[in-house]
Structure 1
Amino acid sequence: MNLNVGVPSLLRIITATILICYNVKGIAQNSDEIWFDKPATYFEETLVLGNGKMGASIFGGIQTEKIFLNDITLWSGEPMNHNNNPEAYKNLPEIRAALKAENYKLADSLNKKLQGQFSQSYAPLGTLLLHFKNEANITNYKRSLDLTTAIADVSYESNGVKYKREYFISNPKKVMVVRLTSDRKKAISFDLKFESQLRFKIKELDSKLIATGYAPVHVEPSYRGSIKNPIVFDADKGTRFTSAFSIKQTDGTVKIQDAVLSVQNATKVELLIAVATSFNGFDKNPATEGLNHENIAMEQIKSSKKETYANLKKEHVADYSELYNRVDFKLSHKELPNVPTDQRLLRYETGANDQNLEILYFNYGRYLLIASSRTKEVPANLQGLWNPHIRPPWSSNYTININLQENYWLAETANLPELHQPLLSFIGNLSKTGAITAKTYYGTNGWAAGHNSDIWALTNPVGDFGQGNPNWANWNMGGVWLTSHLWEHYLYTKDSTYLKEYAYPIIKGAATFASEWLIKDKHGQFISSPSTSPENLYKTPEGYVGATLYGATADMAMIKELFYSYLNASKTLAIQDDFTRKIKFNLENLSPYKIGQKGNLQEWYYDWEDQNPKHRHQTHLYGLHPGNHITPYDTPKLAEAAKTTLEIKGDETTGWSKGWRINLWARLWDGNRAYKMYRELLRYVNPDTSKPNSKRGGTYPNLFDAHPPFQIDGNFGGAAGVIEMLMQSNTETIYLLPALPDAWQKGSIKGIKARGGFEIDLDWEQHKLIKSTVSSLKGGKTTVSYKGRKKAIHLNPNESINIYW
């Protein structure tokens, strides 16, 4: 070890056909571009853009261009009454008595009394349609998204004329910009129309086409199926929206008539699109206390019109690339056919090597986080911010028994802490409404949150007051889990002001709930009761299949991690009082992990069978990942039991679950198994639901994660798993290449973050680490470890160290 200190810084059958059709030489496929040779037919083939608030899904049609528009603050509903089941907690003694008597059927039935209303749904804003004229005989079509600039392009030739469209959504200016050009004068003519599944009207204002409308006041979750009045509109209620369309510059003729904006005989057209809503916070009525959405949209258009197209583009690229360029991942690669992304996926599924595709998926995860997470108190939802459905899958809500958290596993390690802020600030909202939930549903102080949430910060257990199955409706550890993000943000940034003034009180509130929720079992150890393990069912020796029990391992793991975090935060802030002593006592007397007869980590208090041994959820492995208290080096027996559990579950699972399992295998330091799962996550899924492979987990043509249907959490979980394979850390040690797969013989990654506020660069060859660079913004101590070799380092602020291995 050598140190020097410096300054920081699908099928094989079609493969031959593909090569013939594209008639290209073997080249290194791009790891920063998604592209297609035809327009999208399905949403899961579109190119998506976003600035963290506004989203667009681009189909790239020729005669008709279709663009789905979204605003991340446009949801059904309005501020809710969180005191919606004020005496629910009175049912607890009866539930606990049923559990003490081991009457699980009765406990399941009684547990339904601890249920409230469902969450609301994320809404689609509308669809922009551009109907082009006189375009036929199409050749040389290409539709692409450049991840280095967040700019999409469509180009083609029609009757000898070359057309190009360029699209981006500016975060600095809060508008979408579309530029259309042709190489023949006066060749562009189109009609612009707006459609929406919401209630809206269209008017002309100052040569702009303005659509204003409102979202439903209530939407029933899609999984409730056919139900009376699933979508309720009320002209006096709900979130308002504006979508404004304005021609910035053109040499053609522009007119607006009958709700249509027409451009005739243009060579160049620059179009501005602004969207805004009246959402003004989770506790403000958007109809009566909302923002002036129309004025906001008009001001965004006005401000952007003052800038040249070149300046708008330059400002957008500078803003975006400052985030995207922080991390650089490279692998050795072979020359490959330069084919569209969907064909790359098909080829990859046959077992072909495409390491630039593996990098592309990682880069796309970072891209999606930048594009969907830049709005305070409104984190990326189940579909990021891209949703075309008025009753979207699972309401496109915040599902906080894994999915919302998985969205943000990438934020700190991929050096994007600013993008963590929408979630961190949203947790603050939940802590306020969750205080009511804790008191009314559980009879405790502190705060708690259940399985689902929405923009209105819903925290009650869902189920429509007794209609839900407790295996998904009654879980109440959402707040306990979410607070780990507050502590993790501190560990990565070392921002003590943030910890003291914001995070610590919220963490303490969750710890207060957890400590008061615990009861003692027959051994005198603390357990949760009633308890469930998210979405899974047990089978007792007597054959009863149920959800409600006491002391589920998932609960105990999360409470253990929370207590560790709270005590460490207290120590950091030099706080020691009666409450810290109470939490320490609770922690020391928690019911311990148990290893079952099969060698697995028990999911249930007793060594019961799962109804489905290969269930997609593995929440009881939380202590291994995303928690940090089960490790191969500190708790080898528990780590081995976790491994056995994963073996029993197998590898075939949904997209988001596969993303999680990549991280779990990486934490077990099994890089080859993690890599196998990563390859399977990149398995092609046809967006046509009538096709045989459309119902399996994997990746859609545009690299969206397929649960199926589309959920964005698998994208984020899979990308986070890449970093876990290459670097892991705790508060004392940084582990380099702990789960490097054999397939990645040579490569480098630069700019990733470790706990303690350290930035890491790695270079390896022949499967061996050659050089690592550790930098520190604020200074600090850590130990760097590689294959058992360790080096203690102490860096000053803005200092770095190179270590040659």
Structure 2
Amino acid sequence: MLANGNILDAASLASFAYVRTPVSTRHYDFLGDLQIAMNHSASVTNYERWLDLADGTAGVYYTAGDVTYKREYMASNPEGVIAIRILPDSPGAVSFNLYLQRGSSLNRWEDYSQKEGDDAVTMGGGSGGAQSIQFAAGAKVVAPTGKVRTIGDYVICDGADEAWIYFSAWTTFRKPDPRRAVLEALNAAGLQSYDSIRVAHITDYQALASRVTLSLGKSTVQQKAMNTSSRVANFAMDFDPELAALYFQFGRYLLIASSRDNTLSPNLQGIWNVDFDPQWGSKYTININTQMNYWPALVTTKRMYGVGGSVSHHNTDMWGDTAPQDNYAASTFWPGGLAWLATYIYEHYLFTGDVTMLAESYPILVDTATFFLDFMTDYKGWKVTNPSVSPENSYHVPGTTETAAITIGPTMDNSLIWMLFGIVLEAQEILGIETSELTDRLKRTRGQLPPLRVSPSHGGIMEWIEDYNETDVGHRHFSHLYSLYPGADITASNHTIFTAARKSLNRRLEYGGGDTGWSRAWSISLAARLFNSTSVSESLKTLVANLTHPNSLLDTGPPAAFQIDGNFGGTAGISEALLQSHELVTSDPRNSTVGPTLKPTFVGQGTGITLIRLLPALPVDWARDGGGFVKGLLARGGFKVDVYWDEEGKLINATVISRNGGAAWLTLGSEPIGQESPRLVRVGPREGGFLLLETHKGEKHIVTPV
């Protein structure tokens, strides 16, 4: 139908026949509340909440009557419990009752709530559905002094000098008997002191958190005197460098807190959803959001499509449900979710050099590519997906007053498939795999994909197979710019396409795009790839001042309470402005260590060496308050990079450490590839606009400006 131009009929048919039954996948649920009711004076002053990103602890300070209290919280990965300490400045001043609840009304959504001995309580139940997940949660109170007892399903603590609370929860997704697992975790924690659990927690957390440090300059005395909420509100008017660095580290904290070994990936609300019926199901939306969280599904496709390989659409859950979800015309019919996720297998390899992981994951890459080899159809001499959508956007159907989203061969699909096929070809070469039939199909079909094209009507990148007019010029998605970021095929080496990409981004933002946190975060990285430091700065200001909750720094996500991907995307955008390594280059072997002989190359061509750009899009206001530095950023090719700059944004020095050995080209700023360039950087006795680093594992190279 679509190939014949019957767009509206195709859209109507798809709404009935191209969605899963039931229409939506299972949603992420809220566990419950741990309620602590303090028994002290109701006259409370000097109340302050805090989160310490240096050690991963949070808490409150306040004064009740004449007693000052400190309550500290931590979620211990080594111990598998949440631990709380209540500490007053007067002996015997800790008295409270503790209660577990699920729901604030009489509808408790729990099957049992009971005491466990003299110092603990548990609650449990199950989710909805015929094969529901069973859950259990429990809390235990330890007080070295004072009295602890249970009454009903409450724990009562009276007259203690201090008290420790341990909380644990499990479900049948992990444990066959979650209540037993909860009690075992609580008992194990109760045998330790709070201080020993705290030390283990901080050691574990700092092993990840301390890998990267960032300074964008010094905030003023007046800025430091304000509370966080006021600093966020003031950010757009008066750049606050230490708040910007804090925001960067907060994104890293959220990922450390919600994504560790043997855990599930963070979903739309991370692990902090507080609703029984969360917006968008708080699930894995994989047409940008889950990918942005890390800025895994492997199932057969024969049942639905009658083709080989694997596919997933725009939403999934922890069971890897891959059918089209929700019957939302602008999203449901997009078949690219797994393809986008699969590209991160190769990204992981590029950053780590982990050949074992690449070999283990190679079948995923092949299955994902096989689906598209079988699924694509012919249109005007091209191979295209049919049907599909450009995620969440729609267009005016030519010759009618109607709008539609369903299409064939949107630019997002073409770009993803081009990258995916190139990744499989690269993986085959790296792993020494000879599969001539698959290799030939990939190369042949890759050559038949529609290229990136410039719109005759607005000069930007065309989003659809035809030059349709979008219904929302300022749409929140930048899907047609995938090849700019997070892809790597739009670079300054192709002036025409690079200029069109710049027009596309500017046009979206000028018409109101970037109006959600995650969208604005994406625009930061896009602007960084375009070397537009001014746009990087302005978008960060908009993200922090207008699209961040001032009392928590969490990304806004209306109509949801919040949406975590904007935090992760903001952190990624700051990094992208300071260091880039997505470009690949080749050089003339007759003159192989200087820049003018460089030529761009791309994934799938098998000949490229990573190009590392230092400070490619550093905004003026990230430097003017005393200069700055970033330490511990990683570059593709297996390099760790520290960079220092002065108050004018000029390089002071950089350190490049080779983690795996191998080669990389190095340059400063947005220097164009393949042109005569001034001598910009020095490594040892060598100077140039571009320098080749040929390294051994563990080797350190000091870079200074010429």
**Counterparts of 1:552-571 in structure 2 under 5 Å?**
552-571=410-429
The structural deviation recorded for 1:372 is 0.2
CA distance, structure 2, for counterparts of residue 614 and residue 171 of structure 1 = 42
Show the counterpart of 2:89: 183
Matched, 1:347 2:234: yes
Matched, 1:267 2:161: yes
Map of 2:340 onto structure 1: 481
- Does the 8 Å CA contact 2:385/2:413 hold for their aligned counterparts? yes
Q: Deviations over 1:24-79 (max 9, x none)?
A: xxxxxxxxxxxxxxxxxxxxxxxxxxxxxxxxxxxxxxxxxxxxxxxxxxxxxxxx
CA distance in 1, matches of 2:571, 2:239: 18
Which sections of structure 2, spanning at least 5 residues, go unmatched? Answer: 104-108, 583-608, 672-688
Q: Relative to structure 1, is the Cα distance of residues 541 and 553 closer, same or farther in structure 2, using a 3 angstrom cutoff?
A: same
Contact (CA 8 Å) 1:552, 1:604: kept in 2 or not? yes
Amino acid at match of 1:447: S
User: Among residues 493, 502, 518, which one is paired with 1:656 in the alignment?
Assistant: 518
Query: How far apart are 1:743 and its partner, in Å?
Result: 1.0
Which residue of structure 1 aligns with residue 316 of structure 2?
Answer: 453
Contact 1:654–1:698 under 8 Å retained in 2:
no
Counterpart contact for 1:382–1:398, Cα < 8 Å: yes
Residue from 109, 118, 128 that aligns with 2:12: 109
| Structure 1 pair 168–615 and aligned structure 2 pair: CA distance change class (3 A) | same
Q: For 2:285 and 2:293, locate their aligned partners in 1 and report how far apart those are by CA, in whole Å.
A: 10
Alignment partner for residue 538 of structure 2, among 676, 685, 695?
676
1:140 Cα deviation from its structure 2 partner: 2.2
- Per the alignment, residue 556 of structure 2 pairs with 706
Residues 382 and 449, structure 2, Cα contact 8 Å, conserved in 1: yes
Q: 1:23 is matched with which residue?
A: none
Give the 3-state SS of the residue equivalent to 2:620 in structure 1.
coil
| 2-structure distance, mates of 1:200, 1:340 | 43
Q: Provide the C-alpha distance between the structure 2 equivalents of 1:258 and 1:249, rounded to a whole number of angstroms.
A: 19
Once the two structures are superposed, what CA deviation does each residue of 1:115-168 show, in whole Å capped at 9, x if it has no partner? 103111111111111111232322222211100111112111222111111111
Query: Which residue pairs with 1:796 in the alignment?
Result: 696
Equivalent pair of 1:480/1:514 in contact (CA under 8 Å): no
TM-score (ref. length: structure 2): 0.88
Q: Which amino acid aligns with 1:627?
A: G
User: Who is 1:693 aligned against?
Assistant: none
Aligned counterparts of 2:267 and 2:500: Cα–Cα separation in 1: 33
> Deviation of residue 701 (structure 1)?
2.2
- The separation in 1 between residues aligned to 2:250 and 2:206, in whole angstroms, is 13
CA distance in 1, matches of 2:239, 2:354: 42
Displacement, 1:440?
2.1
How many residues of Structure 1 are paired with residues of Structure 2 in the alignment?
Answer: 639
Does the residue aligned with 2:26 lie in a helix, a strand or coil? coil
**1:770 Cα shift?**
1.5
User: Partners in 1 of 2:170 and 2:83 — Cα distance?
Assistant: 15
Structure 2 CA distance, aligned partners of 1:699 and 1:143? 15
* SS of residue in 2 equivalent to 1:735: strand
* 1:329 pairs with one of 214, 228, 236: 214
Q: Tell me the residue number matched to 1:734.
A: 612
* 1:698/1:312 CA distance change after superposition, 3 Å: closer
Structure 2 Cα separation of the partners of residues 712 and 357 of structure 1: 18
Q: Which stretch shows the higher mean deviation, 357-366 or 119-128?
A: 119-128
Amino acid at match of 1:378: L
1:217 Cα deviation (Å)? 2.4
Name 1:716's counterpart in structure 2.
568
Asked whether the equivalents of residues 412 and 479 of structure 2 are also in contact (C-alpha less than 8 Å), the reply is yes
Q: Is the 2:121–2:139 Cα contact (8 Å) retained in structure 1?
A: yes
**Following superposition of structure 1 onto structure 2, how do residues 503-542 of structure 1 map, counting pairs within 5 Å?**
503-522=361-380, 524-542=381-399
Query: What's 1:590 paired with?
Result: 449
Corresponding residue of 1:299 = 184
Deviations 1:491-510 (A, max 9, x none): 1110111111x221101110
User: 1:680 offset after TM fit, Å?
Assistant: 0.3
> In the TM superposition, what whole-angstrom CA distance separates every residue of 1:210-236 from its partner, at most 9, and x where no partner exists?
323233225xxxxxxxxxxxxxxx6xx
1:123–1:215 CA contact under 8 A, matched in 2? no
Distance 1:772 1:316 in 2: 32
- CA distance in 2 between counterparts of 1:648 and 1:699 reads 27
* Cα RMSD after superposing both structures: 1.5
Pair 1:211 & 2:122 matched: yes
Contact residue 554 and residue 622 of structure 1 kept, 8 A: yes
Answer yes or no: is the 8 Å Cα contact 1:200–1:211 preserved in 2.
no
Structure 1 residue 700: deviation in Å?
Answer: 4.3
Report the 3-state secondary structure (helix = DSSP H, G, I; strand = E; otherwise coil) of the residue aligned with 2:2.
helix
Is 1:759–2:640 an aligned residue pair? Answer: yes
| Residue 206 (structure 1) shift | 3.0
The match for 1:312 is 197
Amino acid paired to 1:667 = R
Question: Residues of 1 paired with 2:126 and 2:522: CA distance?
Answer: 34
Match of 2:357 in 1: 498
CA, structure 1 residues 564+194, in 2 after alignment: closer, same or farther (shift >3 Å)? Answer: same
Partners in 2 of 1:721 and 1:699 — Cα distance? Answer: 19
Letter in 2 for 1:616: R
Q: Which residue identity lines up with residue 324 of structure 2 in the other structure?
A: P
| Alignment check: 8 A CA contact 2:124 2:179 kept | no
Q: Could you say which residue in structure 2 is the equivalent of 1:402?
A: 288
Q: Report which structure shows greater RCO (CA 8 Å, sep ≥6).
A: 1
Residue aligning to 1:118:
24
Please report how far the alpha carbon of residue 208 of structure 1 lies from its aligned counterpart in structure 2 after TM superposition: 4.0
- Measured against aligned partners, the alpha-carbon deviations of 1:587-639 in whole angstroms (never above 9, x if no partner) come to 1121112111211101111111001111111111111111111112x222112
Residue 604 in 1 paired to residue 481 in 2? no
Q: Residues 324 and 337 of structure 1: is their aligned pair in 2 closer, same or farther, counting only changes over 3 Å? A: closer
Counterpart position of 1:227 = none
Task: Tell me how far 1:240 sits from its aligned partner.
Answer: 1.3
2:606 is matched with none
Deviates more, 1:191-200 or 1:582-591: 191-200
Judged with a 3 Å threshold, the aligned counterparts in structure 2 of structure 1 residues 699 and 641 are, in CA distance, closer, same or farther, namely farther
In structure 1, give the amino acid aligned to 2:180. N
Secondary structure class of the residue paired with 1:131 = strand
* Structure-2 separation of matches of 1:265 and 1:404: 47
Contact persistence 2:121–2:155 (CA under 8 A): no
**SS of 1:99's equivalent?**
coil
Equivalent positions of 1:161-310 (< 5 A) are 161-197=67-103, 198-218=109-129, 237-280=131-174, 291-310=176-195
Alpha-carbon separation, structure 2, partners of 1:261 and 1:629: 60
SS at match of 1:156: strand
CA distance in 2, matches of 1:338, 1:382: 34
Question: C-alpha offsets along residues 336-388 of structure 1, whole Å, 9 cap, x if unaligned?
Answer: 34222111112224x02311110011000000000000153610111110011
State the distance in 2 between where 1:151 and 1:357 align.
19
Matched with 2:595 is none
Alpha-carbon deviation of 1:515? 1.2
- Structure 1 counterpart of 2:406, one-letter code: T
Gaps of 5+ in 1: 1-97, 219-233, 281-289, 410-426, 685-696
Give 1:586 shift: 0.9
- Counterpart for residue 488 of structure 2: 628
Query: TM-score normalised to the size of structure 1?
Result: 0.78
